[in-house]
Amino acid sequence: MADSGNCRIQKFTEDGVFVCSWGTKGSGEGQLMYPHGLDLDVQGNVYVGDYLNHRIVKFSSHGTFITQWAAAAQAMVN
């Protein structure tokens, strides 16, 4: 579950029992700023849409940071 307000991911069993959580507020590796949505691959890796950092972050199923893909920088208009 993407816990946007607390800048973290929470993991639960199919029965709704809390397992673990990961992520802290920020823009560094493994940090999140308003995570919004996630998906899993067949190995159980977790892909998180990191909304305010404009990137996708990949974690292991246990919350270990693997990699990230950032959006291209946008030109600012004054």
Per-residue pLDDT of the chain (78 residues; tens, 9 = 90+): 999 999 999 999 999 999 999 999 999 999 999 999 999 999 999 999 999 999 999 999 999 999 999 865 554 444
**Per-residue pLDDT, 77:** 45
**Per-residue pLDDT, 72:** 58
Q: Which two tokens stand for residue 25?
A: 């507020």
Closest listed residue to residue 68, CA positions, set 23, 3, 11 = 23
**Per-residue pLDDT, 73:** 54
**Per-residue pLDDT, 75:** 42
Rounded CA separation 33/51 (Å): 7
**Per-residue pLDDT, 35:** 96
Q: pTM (2 decimals)?
A: 0.85
Domain 2-70 is found in CATH 2.40.10: yes
